[in-house]
């Protein structure tokens, strides 16, 4: 296989959430994400999303989800998370999907996510994942990069 093609990886949201088999609801559209949030995603799905961010599990759980790492660790892999936590993890996965579409490469994605960004008031994209407004700001910057407005 061509080396260039090996680096390009654009995971879909279902991949980021651990694969279609691990999801209670198949994802065909955005409304399915609402249904999935309501049903709750599994601890394993959340851990899958965390692995794509480059953050430690402890940092993601405590800083983004605002949970104690012990709370998450007590859960079994297939235990469901509550609607708020599920929704936030799904939104992070949605932004990660967009980020991979823009940058095509896991290393570039993780570097961009962890680097302070002037368009985000000097914050790292990772630090803004904890709020819907922060997620919206990240999406805006990604769209501007796609359109060539922001470099």
Using an 8 Å Cβ cutoff, are 144 and 150 in contact? yes
pLDDT tens, N- to C-terminus, the chain (151 residues): 343 434 555 688 999 998 877 787 888 888 999 999 999 999 999 999 999 999 999 999 999 999 999 999 999 988 999 999 999 999 999 999 999 999 988 899 999 999 999 999 999 999 999 999 999 999 999 999 999 886 5
Using an 8 Å Cβ cutoff, are 92 and 49 in contact? yes
* 123 secondary structure, DSSP code: B
SS3 assignment, position 125: coil
Distance, CA of 91 to CA of 107 (rounded, Å): 21
Question: Would you kindly state where each structural domain of the chain is located, as residue ranges?
Answer: 8-146
Using an 8 Å Cβ cutoff, are 97 and 16 in contact? yes
């Amino acid at each position: 296989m061509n080396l260039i093609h090996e680096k390009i990886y654009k995971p879909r949201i279902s991949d980021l959430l651990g694969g279609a088999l691990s999801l209670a609801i198949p994802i065909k559209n955005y409304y399915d994400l609402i249904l999935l949030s309501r049903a709750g995603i599994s601890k394993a799905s959340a851990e899958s999303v965390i692995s794509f961010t480059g953050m430690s599990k402890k940092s993601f759980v405590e800083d983004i989800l605002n949970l104690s790492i012990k709370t998450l660790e007590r859960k079994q892999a297939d235990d469901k998370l509550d609607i708020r936590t599920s929704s936030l993890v799904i939104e992070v996965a949605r932004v990660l999907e967009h980020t991979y579409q823009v940058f095509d490469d896991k290393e570039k994605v993780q570097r961009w996510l962890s680097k302070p960004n002037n368009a985000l008031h000097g914050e790292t994209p990772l630090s803004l994942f904890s709020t819907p407004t922060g997620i919206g700001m990240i999406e805006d910057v990604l769209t501007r990069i796609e359109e060539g407005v922001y470099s």
